[in-house]
């Protein structure tokens, strides 16, 4: 009955923590493609190939349902995977839709035409690949009209977090927020469009100001996954054990993960 969680590195652990807290009786298999991280500077074909390989590894672990806890993979690969790669008995879900549902105050399955919503000016902080894909804007357009989204490609933040350099990460957050504000001086809401960024949420909030609502993904994805499994209990796969897998050096990744979450995690080679 295991569910797979895939990320290019350690950022998806923020999602894993939230889904484990929300669904404590379900085993989760976490797959970090650390050997190829970060994805945010790769082209779409490269991201697609790497994401497919990671998802197949999770299928091999008995995870019929896989959540891409990686905004870059969700933006650059998910639609193509769903159209031509995922077989009928498997499912791959992304992390954009729960965020957009919260932003637009629309429930899952609301297929009514797009309508005006309260928020008009939205800042999107994400990796270069996510910003250039415009996947967030495309999904938002299915649900809302009249929303101005300004994307800010946040180079360097993921690398700094993966290396455990939070001082550099905070400095980069301030720099990217300043750059965003030069393009959109008064955003009403900010989307942290990378699963690493919740670790820097306080820094983003401080740089943006208290009047900006900051949306982070982990809890939203956890609630969405819980709802999905209630409606589709048959998608719980045959896997019966929680584990952590990486394409990188397991010892190094385990050490970084312990710094990342401030608790011990032991990764195995994928």
Q: For 29, list phi and psi in degrees, rounded to 5.
A: -110, 120
Q: By C-alpha distance, which of 123, 117, 73, 110 is closest to 93?
A: 73
Mean pLDDT of the chain, nearest integer: 93
pLDDT band at residue 77 under the 50/70/90 scheme: very high
pLDDT of residue 111: 78
Which residues are tagged catalytic?
70, 194
Sorted by sequence, the CB contacts under 8 Å of residue 94 that are 6+ apart come out as: 67, 68, 73, 74, 78
227-252: average pLDDT: 92
Average pLDDT over residues 16-24: 95
Classify residue 223 as exposed, middle or buried by CB count within 10 Å of its CB (0-12, 13-18, 19+): middle
Domains of the chain, with CATH numbers?
3-94+218-269 (3.40.50.1860), 97-215 (3.40.50.1860)
pLDDT digits (tens, 9 = 90+) for 172-227: 999 999 999 999 999 999 999 999 999 999 999 999 999 999 998 898 999 999 99
What is the mean pLDDT of the segment spanning 88-114?
A: 87
Residue 108 has pLDDT above 70, yes or no: no
Say what the pTM is: 0.90
C-alpha R_g of the chain: 18
Which stretches within the chain are classed as H helix?
A: 13-22, 44-60, 71-76, 78-84, 96-104, 128-133, 135-141, 157-162, 166-183, 201-208, 218-231, 250-261
Across the chain, how many H-helices and E-strands are there?
Answer: 12, 12
* Mean pLDDT confidence for 65-72: 96
Give mean pLDDT, residues 150-161. 94
Per-residue pLDDT tens over the stretch 241-255: 899 999 999 999 999
**Does residue 267 or residue 161 have the better pLDDT?**
267
For tokens 């300043």, the residue is 178
């Amino acid at each position: 009955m295991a569910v797979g969680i895939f990320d290019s590195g350690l950022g998806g652990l923020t999602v894993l923590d939230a889904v484990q807290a929300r669904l404590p009786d379900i085993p989760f298999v976490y797959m970090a493609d650390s050997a190829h991280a970060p994805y945010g500077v790769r082209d779409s074909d490269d991201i697609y190939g790497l994401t497919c390989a990671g998802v197949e590894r999770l299928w091999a672990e008995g995870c019929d349902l896989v959540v891409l806890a990686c905004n870059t993979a969700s933006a650059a690969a998910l639609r193509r995977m769903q159209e031509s790669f995922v077989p009928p008995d498997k499912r791959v879900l992304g992390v954009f839709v729960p965020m957009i549902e919260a932003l637009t105050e629309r429930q899952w399955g609301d297929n009514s035409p797009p309508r005006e919503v309260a928020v008009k000016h939205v800042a999107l902080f994400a990796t270069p690949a996510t910003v250039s894909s415009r996947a967030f804007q495309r999904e938002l357009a299915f649900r809302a009209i009249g929303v101005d989204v300004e994307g800010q490609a946040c180079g360097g933040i993921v690398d700094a977090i993966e290396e455990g350099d939070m001082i550099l990460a905070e400095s980069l957050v301030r720099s990217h927020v300043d750059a965003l504000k030069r393009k959109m001086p008064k955003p009403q809401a900010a989307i942290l469009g990378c699963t690493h960024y919740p670790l820097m949420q306080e820094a983003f909030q401080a740089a943006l100001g208290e009047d900006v609502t900051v949306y982070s993904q982990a809890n939203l994805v956890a609630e969405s996954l819980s709802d999905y499994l209630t409606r589709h209990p048959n998608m719980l796969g045959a896997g019966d054990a929680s584990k952590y897998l990486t394409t990188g050096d397991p010892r190094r990744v385990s050490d970084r993960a312990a710094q990342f979450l401030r608790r011990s995690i032991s990764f195995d080679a994928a």
